[in-house]
């Protein structure tokens, strides 16, 4: 077996493995129009990479408690799942091929997603990616949301690896901040948000797509 640069890989999901971010933004737009919520795109961008608790808190700080974050997010969730069940939210190109390559190299793989575990496991099972993950840790399994590094540190521990032995892959600003703070080799694969000066400084490398990641291994 070829020499492996990293013992393990830790992936974000939304916008990196799952092509979901644009659909999420569209769902926010729909509920905003229904309820007269202004500048929803600014809010939606600000919560990319954050867990449900943080998203709800930030929503109510911005828009108040009527109709309330839980009610709005329930509507958004219903619209999103309609699209998912219609096959409109696929895996990102080259994701399965990259997982296979990492397994051939003997690497362990974890998913560290801010979404709920129930949703993440279901989505990965439906799309055929679940068997590649040795561990899945989600936003409702940690105390602190990204950009805090907790989720990446726990994922590394679950894989039996030191953070310095892991490559971390993210698309969001909050995810990159968390990944770097955890001490992983930090790779940004931009989706909606293109890297600014902070992201360029925090990322060890920025690549155009998952297809480019194999060269780093």
Please list, in sequence order, all residues whose beta carbon lies within 8 angstroms of the beta carbon of residue 57, skipping any fewer than 6 positions away.
69
Closest by Cα among 68, 166, 190, 51 to 114? 51
Q: 168 forms bridges with which residues in the sheet?
A: 10, 186
Closest by Cα among 9, 30, 174, 164 to 102? 9
- DSSP letter at 92 equals P
Cβ atoms of 167 and 10 closer than 8 Å: yes
Q: Which residues are catalytic?
A: 12, 14
| Token reading at 191 | 């989706």
């Amino acid at each position: 077996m070829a020499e492996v640069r990293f013992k393990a890989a830790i992936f974000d999901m939304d916008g990196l493995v799952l092509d979901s971010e644009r659909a999420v933004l569209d769902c926010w737009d729909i509920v905003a129009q229904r309820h007269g919520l202004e500048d929803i795109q600014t809010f939606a961008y600000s919560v990319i990479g954050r867990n449900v608790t943080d998203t709800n808190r930030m929503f109510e700080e911005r828009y108040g408690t009527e109709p309330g974050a839980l009610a709005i997010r329930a509507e958004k969730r219903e619209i999103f799942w309609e699209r998912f069940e219609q096959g409109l939210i696929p895996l990102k190109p080259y994701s399965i091929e990259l997982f296979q390559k990492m397994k051939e190299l003997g690497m362990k793989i974890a998913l560290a997603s801010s979404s709920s575990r129930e949703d993440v496991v279901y989505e990965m099972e439906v799309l055929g990616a679940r068997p590649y993950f040795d561990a899945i840790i989600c936003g409702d399994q940690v105390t602190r949301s990204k950009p805090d590094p907790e989720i990446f540190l726990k994922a590394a521990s679950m894989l039996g690896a030191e953070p310095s032995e892991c490559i971390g892959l993210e698309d969001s600003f909050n995810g990159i901040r968390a990944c770097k703070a955890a001490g992983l080799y930090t790779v940004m694969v931009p989706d909606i948000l293109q890297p600014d000066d902070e992201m360029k400084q925090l990322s060890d490398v920025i690549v155009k797509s998952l297809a480019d990641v194999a060269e780093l291994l």
